[in-house]
């Protein structure tokens, strides 16, 4: 029989497999690079993967674009196929997936016994998201995000790290945002209950400053 110390150290050596769930603008894309660096994880953002498909004009990209422009969810089947190829044995942060209970079940099947260590819910009121999203600028290559007012780049419209241009996402407009928020409340919040029942859900106050949110995430992972 394993002694308890051995079991604890085996768990500590297991790669961290994490999921971030939160509405658009809740700070998932700000925290993910911090955890990626700190714990040496892969950052897998289904939104970023889909935008790559759209810009490469693949079959998947052409199909997904119709939904993304309106702020609707891309059908599960397409997303699950896309993610199956990228979730491997290494530690990761899944950002923007799963967004439906069906996707969450499929992820559990893919991971088998390895399972997830924790799911972090970024909780924040909708009214705080509108200005965050409408002023957002992103660096497509890395997913780094800025804000024209709250977190401006050092040089306007330029990524601080690479010097490459920043862009405004085409779905960061008021109409698409309303649909994205509606999809979040209707279809994605049941995923929180799914993980709550598994006992792995941790909720952080995403209206806090980024450093404070990072401290809350670290505290949750050390529990
Ligand atoms: P995001 O960058 O996470 O805000 O995602 C941008 C858009 O990509 C969403 O509004 C959806 O249209 C689509 N998308 C990203 N992830 C998923 C997912 N897990 N399921 C369905 N659609 C998704």
pLDDT at 12: 58
Asked if the model's pLDDT at residue 8 lies above 70, the reply is: no
In angstroms, the CA 22 to CA 121 distance is: 6
> Does ligand 1 come within 6 angstroms of the Cβ of 22?
no
Q: Is 47 in the pocket of ligand 1 (CB under 6 A)?
A: yes
| Residue 46 in contact with ligand 1 by CB distance below 6 A | yes
Nearest to 60 by CA among 71, 48, 51: 51
The closest-lying atom of ligand 1 relative to the alpha carbon of residue 96 is 3
Ligand 1 pocket member 169 (CB < 6 A): no
Beta-carbon-side half-sphere exposure of residue 17 (alpha carbons within 13 Å): 19
Beta bridge partners of 147: 136, 151
Task: Kindly compute the dihedral angle of the four CA atoms of residues 155, 176, 52, 194, in this order, to the nearest 10 degrees.
Answer: 110
Q: What is the pLDDT of residue 223?
A: 82
CA distance 222 to 43: 20
What is the per-residue pLDDT for 156?
Answer: 97
- Determine which residue's CA is closest to atom 6 belonging to ligand 1: 47
Contacts of 80 (CB under 8 A, 6+ apart): 103, 106
CB count, 10 Å around CB of 180?
22
Q: What is the pLDDT of residues 104-114, one digit of tens each?
A: 999 999 999 88
Give the distance (Å) from ligand 1 centre to CA of residue 68. 7
- Does residue 79 have its Cβ closer than 6 Å to ligand 1? yes
**Ligand 1 centre and the CA of 71: distance in Å?**
8
Res. 153: pLDDT tops 60: yes
Catalytic residues, by residue number, are: 28, 99, 136, 169, 180
> Whole-prediction pTM value?
0.91
Q: Is 80 in the pocket of ligand 1 (CB under 6 A)?
A: no
Which residue, 19, 2, 20, is CA-closest to 11?
Answer: 2
Task: Please give the pLDDT value at position 142.
Answer: 84
How much distance in Å is there from the Cα of 47 to the middle of ligand 1? 5
Measured in Å, residue 46 CA sits from the centre of ligand 1 at 6
């Amino acid at each position: 029989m394993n002694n308890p110390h051995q079991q604890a150290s085996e768990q500590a050596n297991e790669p961290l497999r994490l999921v971030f769930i939160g509405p658009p603008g809740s700070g998932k894309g700000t925290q993910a690079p911090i955890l990626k660096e700190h714990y040496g994880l892969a950052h897998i953002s289904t939104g970023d993967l889909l935008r790559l498909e759209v810009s490469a004009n693949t079959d998947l990209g052409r199909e997904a674009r119709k939904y993304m422009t309106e702020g609707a969810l891309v059908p599960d089947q397409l997303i699950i196929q896309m993610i199956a190829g990228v979730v491997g044995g290494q530690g990761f942060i899944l950002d923007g997936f799963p967004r439906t209970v069906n996707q969450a079940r499929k992820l559990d099947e893919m991971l088998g016994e390895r399972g997830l260590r924790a799911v972090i819910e970024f909780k924040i009121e909708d009214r705080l998201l509108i200005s965050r999203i409408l002023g957002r600028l992103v660096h497509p290559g890395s997913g780094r995000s800025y804000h024209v007012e709250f977190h401006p780049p050092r040089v306007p419209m330029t990524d601080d790290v690479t010097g490459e241009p920043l862009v405004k996402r085409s779905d960061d407009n008021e109409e698409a945002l309303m649909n994205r928020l509606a999809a979040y409340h209707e279809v994605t919040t049941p995923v929180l209950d799914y993980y709550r029942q598994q006992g792995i859900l941790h909720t952080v106050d995403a209206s806090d400053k980024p450093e404070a949110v990072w401290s809350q995430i670290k505290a949750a992972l050390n529990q």
